[in-house]
Structure 1
């Protein structure tokens, strides 16, 4: 193994400095990359975030999303919306996640493929 190997890039060590505890399964923004907490992470503690994989996560209930569609992470709703939604300050758009399944109006969750690729944070 290479002497400069640090860790598998699909899982990243993360120090929670958000001001609140992070629950296992919660979507976490690391800059412009989205991931999912693998365990509960107390404020100030270290944990593991998966930045690649498919996870069932919250969805804006009124959004109609097709499989393979790019998504917007709505930071205020703490849920994914369709890419046609107008992004607000702090929302993350772009290739960091896409719909792994279709989800219609009224659904409050959907399977999302996290790619590990940085998106764009709306300024």
Structure 2
């Protein structure tokens, strides 16, 4: 039988910044099929801590209402949450109703 070795709880992960710019504290980090939130500044080539679970508030599309439980996506081009899946990264699900005109939304990442 295969065995596994416990590494960490997984609420936060080590992330090496392989981008062309520094990552700032609380920056959104696209992670292919999810997002993470930088828990510290991470210089180019450095490794830092990224939260990958929890409830957070982020900028959001102010032309759409969000309902509790709705899947939300991170639009890296416009730096905001959206309900549109096309070319956007799954971010999590809405945890609090958001009115159409609201510019932020709360969601559960992870």
**Is 1:101 the counterpart of 2:96 in the alignment?**
yes
Return the TM-score normalized by structure 1: 0.76
Unaligned runs of 5+ in 2: none
Return the TM-score normalized by structure 2: 0.84
Runs of 4+ in 1 over 3 A off after TM superposition: none
Query: What is the number of equivalent residue pairs in this alignment?
Result: 107
Q: How far has the Cα of 1:52 moved from its partner?
A: 0.7
Aligned equivalent of 2:25:
24
Q: How far has the Cα of 1:112 moved from its partner?
A: 1.1
Instruction: Please give the alpha-carbon distance, in whole angstroms, between the structure 2 residues aligned to 1:7 and 1:86.
Output: 31
Aligned equivalent of 2:51:
50
Aligned equivalent of 2:109:
114
Deviation per CA, 1:58-114, whole angstroms, max 9, x where unpaired? 1122221112111121121111102xx3613xx113xx5011111122222111100
**Is 1:11 the counterpart of 2:6 in the alignment?**
no
Aligned equivalent of 1:121:
none
User: CA RMSD, aligned part only?
Assistant: 1.8
Q: Is 1:65–1:99's contact at 8 Å kept on the other side of the alignment?
A: yes
Deviation per CA, 1:7-49, whole angstroms, max 9, x where unpaired? 2211100011121122222221122121111112222211111
Q: Is 1:98–1:113's contact at 8 Å kept on the other side of the alignment?
A: yes
